[in-house]
Structure 1
Amino acid sequence: MLERPKARWVPTGFDALPGWGEDALAEWWPALRQSCSRPAVGWQRVCEHVLSRPTIDGDAAWLRPWVERTFQVYRVESPQGQDSGLLTGYYEPQLRASRTPTAQYRVPLYAPPADLNKRQPYWTRRELDTVPAAQAALKGREIAWLEDPLDALVVQIQGSGQLLFQDADGRLSAARLAFAGHNGQPYRSVGAWLISQGQLKASEASWPGIKDWVRRNPRRLQEMLWQNPRMVFFALEPLPEPIQGPRGAQAVPLTPARSIAVDPGSVPYGTPVWLASTDPTLATPLHRLVMAQDTGSAITGAVRADYFWGWGDTAATQAGRTRQNLRMWVLWPR
């Protein structure tokens, strides 16, 4: 058994993995290659082999036997022996934006303030909206403007976004809104607040439900937003073509449906993880090999993962429905 700061790993075999023989491992290989661009301690030999092979295009019959020869399987448990937990989902929003404020685009997104690292925790979301000194720290730090304040909150919660600008010459240009820091304040769910206030039932506290509540209660929008004191700051980056995922905490691009966020005290970045859960859309088993490449403030504990669905409306729907029971196993070089 291996001890991690927030978990223990119990050795087992590949025969313990539900659905192990059914996953299309060739779809996992690109995510493994991304992690191997920044190999963790103990991964150098494996990653040299991985990076020496091209992307898999055809027959991958060799891949499953190679994985079984190369890795030892461990079941992830809490220090107390609990082996079940929670799977949630996240995605990258795609939003129209403006580089300057207009009558339509009036909600700013900010680069980190110059004094962010000198004052921790930094001003809360409410203080940044109301305190003159806090407002002064944000002046001139605007990097994009959105139409809807809820879209601004969503992109802060997700940690990145894709923005589509209409330039002065009428052309459309895209950029990635990349995570660049936060104010050090705790994240609080506005959905949970609405439930606690008796405004929504738990089954209604999805983003469509929250947006509908705001439509019916426009005067309480700011009150609701202030319930989450965390403010996230961003940087604009080029959006590659073809599109790659945003960089996660491992500093490698995320792969849709093959990257997860974890608690690094349970699972180190760059570790292959076998998930046993349920697909939120199809209600069928979700048995899949993924890579631990990201983290988040709400992702804490041993058996806990946030599944990256990708970008766009379909990914948003899937992420919003993902809240399933989870078991996890890790693969570690022998």
Structure 2
Amino acid sequence: MEAGRHPRRLSRVARPPAGRGLRPGRIAAFALLCLLAACAVPPRHVAELPGWGEDSLAEAIPAFIAGCRPPALPEALCAEAAALPRGDNAAARAFFERRFTLRAAGEGLMTGYYEPELRGAASRGGPYTIPLHGRPSDLVEVDLGRFAPDLRGRRTAGRVEAGRLVPYPDRAAIEAGAVEAPVLLWVDDAAEKFFLQIQGSGRVVLPDGSVRRMGYAAQNGRAYVPIGRLLAERGEIPREQVSMQSILAWLEAAGPERARALMAENPSYVFFREASARPEQGPSGSLGVPLTPLRSIAVDRGEIPLGSPVWIVAKHPLTGAPIRRLVLAQDTGGAIKGPARADLFWGWGEAAAEAAGRMKETATLYVLEPAAP
């Protein structure tokens, strides 16, 4: 992938040793190898990042300050960021160049997510028959890294039976009533609820026009299985056409029984809590701060510490235009595993849903780590 590489200017091809002339075809091949070798040189300093001078870095400072805290970032560095003049791109650029070093995370898959909007009601009735569950009292979340260093960053969940922790029921069992969990709201569409669980948070519009915000509360510890991949493997949707939009269309056309059976093949199940946030703010991520459209990403916290600034090099899923910008690792996700796997938060509304639903791009990630004093 050419993004993220800096070709050096080649003034001429090196002259071969006397008596060992290169034929014209070999000269061209030798020049090409030299060019490719130069292109493979990665950026070593923050200022060398591809597109670094093009981003409005001052826009990232509020999100950076909101999530700036130890252990990922020292307090002195956070205080320095808070003192930067607002809206000053030059000051923001100098701050990151002076106070951070680069760590290449590599290339990986970048998907997108957004804050969906559903229709619902406080009580069951009419079209509102699909429950949004709150966290069950018997669910136990486990940080496996506290028990074994090689499991650092890995988590699971279960419940205690006869003094032992056992796996928590899967999606099908929960939907069948195997768990006693409070119902926060009732919504009118099972597929929309399914994607709300994938996104982890959203807005529910009640019949009187008021809005209730749903935030992530817990997950049942089961592995996430993408149903888009299942549909592609079975020839239901061409692999290159798999997106949130095409999956929703398939679920609607399939009918309730087939749709329910397919969704049950993803055993992961997310429970919600009611969240308070201003309408202009995004939902709260795993770091505990509101997500900022196109400035917040979900990462594997075992690979990239939450709060870290990350430079991403990708392309827009709809226009193909380059995306080269500073984002903040402020969230996690069940499907976000690996050193360069990321999920870009697009915001809310139809435009965000369209872009997020179609984003499935190869991206290059660079983690900005605090420089030694």
TM-score, structure 2 as length reference: 0.77
Secondary structure in 2 matching 1:277: strand
Matched, 1:129 2:175: yes
Counterpart in the other structure of 2:270: 232
User: How far 1:25 sits from its partner (Å)?
Assistant: 0.6
1:254 to 280, 291, 294: 291
Letter in 2 for 1:196: E
Counterpart in the other structure of 2:58: 26
Matched, 1:62 2:94: no
1:92-103 → structure 2 map (5 Å cutoff):
92-103=115-126
Q: Distance in 1 between matches of 2:295 and 2:362?
A: 18
Letter in 1 for 2:82: L
Contact 2:46–2:96 (CA under 8 A) maintained in structure 1: no
User: How far 1:194 sits from its partner (Å)?
Assistant: 1.6
Letter in 2 for 1:158: Q
Once the two structures are superposed, residues 251-294 of structure 1 have per-residue CA deviations (whole angstroms, 9 ceiling, x without a partner) of: 11111100111111221111111111111122111110111111
User: How far 1:303 sits from its partner (Å)?
Assistant: 1.5
Contact 2:286–2:331 (CA under 8 A) maintained in structure 1: yes
Once the two structures are superposed, residues 26-63 of structure 1 have per-residue CA deviations (whole angstroms, 9 ceiling, x without a partner) of: 11111111112x34355211101222446x24x43322
Root-mean-square deviation (CA, aligned residues, Å) is: 1.9
2:133 to 88, 107, 110: 110
Counterpart in the other structure of 2:75: 44
Letter in 2 for 1:73: L
1:223 to 235, 253, 261: 261
Q: Distance in 1 between matches of 2:250 and 2:319?
A: 28
Secondary structure in 2 matching 1:12: coil
Contact 2:67–2:330 (CA under 8 A) maintained in structure 1: yes
Note closer, same or farther for the CA distance 1:206–1:11 as it changes in structure 2 (3 Å cut): closer
Contact 1:28–1:289 (CA under 8 A) maintained in structure 2: yes
List structure 1 runs of 4+ shifted beyond 6 angstroms: none
Matched, 1:144 2:202: no
1:8-27 → structure 2 map (5 Å cutoff):
12-27=44-59
Secondary structure in 2 matching 1:319: helix
User: How far 1:84 sits from its partner (Å)?
Assistant: 1.8
Contact 1:91–1:309 (CA under 8 A) maintained in structure 2: yes
Note closer, same or farther for the CA distance 1:195–1:246 as it changes in structure 2 (3 Å cut): same
Contact 1:108–1:142 (CA under 8 A) maintained in structure 2: yes
Letter in 2 for 1:146: V
Matched, 1:321 2:358: yes
Note closer, same or farther for the CA distance 1:13–1:164 as it changes in structure 2 (3 Å cut): same
Structure ranking higher on relative contact order (CA contacts 8 Å, 6+ apart):
1
Once the two structures are superposed, residues 83-113 of structure 1 have per-residue CA deviations (whole angstroms, 9 ceiling, x without a partner) of: 3222111111012211111111111110111
Letter in 2 for 1:129: E
1:2-13 → structure 2 map (5 Å cutoff):
12-13=44-45
2:349 to 292, 296, 312: 312
Secondary structure in 2 matching 1:28: helix
User: How far 1:203 sits from its partner (Å)?
Assistant: 3.0
Secondary structure in 2 matching 1:61: helix
1:183 to 191, 213, 220: 220
Letter in 1 for 2:44: T
Q: Distance in 2 between matches of 1:181 and 1:85?
A: 26
Q: Which runs of 5+ in 1 are unaligned?
A: 1-9, 77-82
Query: Percent identity over the alignment?
Result: 39
Matched, 1:298 2:298: no
Aligned residues: 306
2:107 to 77, 84, 87: 84
Contact 1:11–1:72 (CA under 8 A) maintained in structure 2: no
Counterpart in the other structure of 2:15: none
Letter in 2 for 1:48: A
Note closer, same or farther for the CA distance 1:12–1:151 as it changes in structure 2 (3 Å cut): same
User: How far 1:11 sits from its partner (Å)?
Assistant: 8.3
Contact 1:12–1:75 (CA under 8 A) maintained in structure 2: no
Counterpart in the other structure of 2:211: 174
TM-score, structure 1 as length reference: 0.86
User: How far 1:193 sits from its partner (Å)?
Assistant: 1.6
Once the two structures are superposed, residues 176-207 of structure 1 have per-residue CA deviations (whole angstroms, 9 ceiling, x without a partner) of: 10111011111111111222222222133322
